[in-house]
């Protein structure tokens, strides 16, 4: 059993403050206790912020070349530890080992590389006649990251914050502690100056609240639920600090009447089920022309029923368990709600898949005959649950797609590129993917409405960590 009872503050691993408690670490595939994790206090948050504040003047004045050199060293060490990272993700959140290595660990590396390339050409100063504009580091950045794609979110925040000249306090999810420890070790091995990067664990209501309300924290960047994002914004308001939020989603996939149905539905189901459905941008509402609806439902059910659910250590497994007990129980509850609301269950359903007696395993589930006012169409389930909604005509499809409190992403399937561009322009979402396109981390990512504000990735992601200063001569 592992006892993880130290935080990374001011370039050293240190013991938590008095009052720290230990939280159980549980393997989601077996429900067995695997270790204990120290949960920080407000005093730990204060120590980490103080270290970041002390390191800010020197790091904010570092040159582009110094920041490039640090990112290059981090990337080198990350590559050397990528197997350790993949194994950590498999163990802590139950992601299948193939997914853990090829996507979970790999996308963290890709985020670091993308931030490095952005930094190489980013314009920190621009001329405007007799004036010029400087873009300067915002200050101490508190970064709050989730458990579902832990390395993606850690790297997508840490790398541009470093590139901007900010100093950092990272609070990763306590559910995904193992990979974050490896990441902190990488930062240390790469020679990150003391105080520039700090990491502590703790509950959101304790450490998260202290970081977001701390007068010496200049910015908070959070990826999490809409509820958590609102709480951070409220805590941050009295100190008028910047808050960037990447929050929940209930993303629509519009399969238009000219789409090739088989690949469109197959891709949509696969994207919904990847990572056990625990992806904020997953296309969880599939909108299908009524005249093609029955065929689409049959395809979706067959694809969902073919998903291999099982031991995340097995390379043949496509879908592992839900990452923790609380989320598993929420998914089970929402499946029961869908049945009670009258949606037609065509694949999956409550309980574990056949043959799995232990672990937080959910069945890949597809509901047909869903109305957009049903709970399962309105609320983010964050599990392997797809809802299918018929529509009559393109206008109704767009109206249904936009009829949601969320606005993180949208998906379109069509054989007409110009039609895709026209429909994409009318979707109230932060990003649109067409015909199964994969995530592009060189362009901005973020949401409309309750899916958050601010942007990550690319030029805009680095700019989030900068203040603008105009100078007139």
Query: What does the pLDDT look like over 412-422, one tens digit per residue?
Result: 999 999 999 99
Q: Does residue 104 lie within any of the structural domains?
A: yes
pLDDT of residue 38: 97
Q: Does residue 424 lie within any of the structural domains?
A: yes
Supply the CATH number for residue 310's domain: 3.40.309.10
Do 67 and 114 lie in a common domain? yes
Do 361 and 292 lie in a common domain? yes
In the predicted structure, residue 28 carries a pLDDT above the cut 90: yes
Q: Does residue 230 lie within any of the structural domains?
A: yes
Could you list the residue range(s) of the whole structural domain that residue 343 is in?
A: 252-434
pLDDT of residue 152: 98
Q: Does residue 394 lie within any of the structural domains?
A: yes
Do 394 and 370 lie in a common domain? yes
Percent of the chain with pLDDT strictly greater than 90: 100
Q: Is 439 exposed, middle or buried (0-12, 13-18, 19+ CB in 10 A)?
A: middle
Do 223 and 336 lie in a common domain? no
Percent of the chain with pLDDT strictly greater than 70: 100
Q: How confident is the model at residue 79 (pLDDT cuts 50, 70, 90)?
A: very high
pLDDT of residue 387: 98
Do 93 and 188 lie in a common domain? yes
- Express each pLDDT in 170-181 by its tens digit: 999 999 999 999
Contact 217, 241 (CB under 8 A): yes
Q: Does residue 428 lie within any of the structural domains?
A: yes
Do 239 and 340 lie in a common domain? no
Do 260 and 229 lie in a common domain? no
Q: Does residue 183 lie within any of the structural domains?
A: yes
- Express each pLDDT in 355-374 by its tens digit: 999 999 999 999 999 999 99
In the predicted structure, residue 69 carries a pLDDT above the cut 90: yes
Do 203 and 259 lie in a common domain? no
Query: Which residue carries 């970041």 as its tokens?
Result: 52
Active-site positions read 246, 280
**Domains contained in the chain, number:** 2
pLDDT of residue 331: 98
Q: How confident is the model at residue 394 (pLDDT cuts 50, 70, 90)?
A: very high
- Express each pLDDT in 138-189 by its tens digit: 999 999 999 999 999 999 999 999 999 999 999 999 999 999 999 999 999 9
Rounded mean pLDDT, 360-389: 98
Q: Does residue 126 lie within any of the structural domains?
A: yes
Rounded mean pLDDT, 317-323: 98
Q: Does residue 350 lie within any of the structural domains?
A: yes
Rounded mean pLDDT, 247-258: 98
Do 178 and 46 lie in a common domain? yes
Supply the CATH number for residue 57's domain: 3.40.605.10
Do 323 and 455 lie in a common domain? no
pLDDT of residue 1: 82
Do 59 and 195 lie in a common domain? yes
pLDDT of residue 319: 98
Do 205 and 293 lie in a common domain? no
- Express each pLDDT in 209-238 by its tens digit: 999 999 999 999 999 999 999 999 999 999
Average per-residue pLDDT for the chain:
97
Rounded mean pLDDT, 266-285: 98
Rounded mean pLDDT, 428-435: 98
In the predicted structure, residue 299 carries a pLDDT above the cut 90: yes
Q: How far is CA 116 from the centre of its chain?
A: 20
- Express each pLDDT in 84-110 by its tens digit: 999 999 999 999 999 999 999 999 999
pTM, rounded to two decimals: 0.97
Rounded mean pLDDT, 69-92: 98
Three-state DSSP class for 208?
helix
């Amino acid at each position: 059993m592992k006892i993880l009872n130290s935080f990374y503050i001011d370039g050293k691993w240190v013991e938590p403050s008095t009052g720290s408690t230990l939280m159980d670490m549980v393997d989601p595939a077996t429900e067995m206790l695997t270790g204990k994790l120290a949960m920080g206090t407000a005093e730990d948050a204060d120590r980490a912020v103080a270290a970041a504040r002390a390191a800010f003047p020197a790091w904010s004045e570092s040159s582009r070349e110094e920041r490039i050199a640090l990112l290059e060293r981090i990337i080198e060490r990350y590559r050397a530890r990528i197997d350790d990272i993949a194994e950590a993700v498999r163990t802590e959140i139950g992601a299948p080992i193939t997914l853990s290595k090829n996507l979970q660990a790999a996308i963290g590396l890709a985020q670091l590389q993308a931030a490095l390339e952005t930094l190489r050409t980013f314009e920190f100063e621009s001329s405007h006649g007799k004036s010029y504009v400087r873009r300067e580091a915002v200050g101490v950045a508190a970064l709050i990251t989730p458990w579902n794609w832990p390395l993606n979110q850690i790297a997508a925040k840490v790398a541009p914050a470093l590139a901007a000249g900010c100093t950092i306090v990272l609070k990763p999810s306590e559910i995904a502690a193992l990979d974050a420890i490896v990441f902190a070790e990488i930062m240390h091995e790469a020679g990150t100056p003391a105080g520039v990067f700090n990491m502590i664990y703790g509950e959101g209501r304790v450490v998260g609240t202290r970081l977001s309300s701390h007068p010496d924290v200049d910015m908070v960047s959070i990826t999490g639920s809409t509820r958590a994002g609102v709480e951070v914004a409220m805590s941050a308001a009295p100190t008028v600090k910047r808050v960037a939020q990447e929050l929940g989603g209930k993303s629509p996939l519009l399969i238009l009447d000219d789409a090739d149905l088989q690949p469109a539905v197959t891709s949509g189901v696969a994207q919904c089920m990847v990572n056990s459905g625990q992806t904020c941008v997953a296309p969880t509402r599939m909108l299908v022309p009524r005249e093609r609806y029955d065929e689409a439902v049959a395809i979706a059910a067959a694809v969902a029923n073919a998903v291999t659910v099982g031991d995340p250590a097995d390379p043949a497994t496509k879908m592992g368990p839900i990452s923790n007990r609380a989320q598993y129980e929420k998914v089970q509850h929402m499946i029961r709600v869908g049945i009670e609301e009258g949606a037609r269950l065509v694949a999956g359903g409550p309980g574990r898949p056949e043959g799995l007696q232990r672990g937080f395993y959910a069945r890949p589930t597809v509901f047909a005959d869903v109305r957009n006012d049903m709970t399962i169409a309105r609320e983010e389930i964050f599990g392997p649950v797809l809802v299918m909604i018929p529509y009559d005509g393109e206008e109704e499809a767009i109206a249904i797609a936009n009829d949601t409190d969320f606005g993180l992403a949208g998906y379109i399937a069509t054989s007409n590129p110009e039609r895709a561009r026209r429909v994409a322009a009318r979707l109230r979402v932060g990003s649109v993917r067409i015909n199964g396109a994969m995530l592009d981390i060189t362009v901005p990512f973020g949401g409309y409405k309750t899916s958050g504000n601010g942007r990550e990735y690319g030029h805009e992601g680095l700019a989030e960590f900068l203040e603008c200063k105009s100078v007139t001569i």
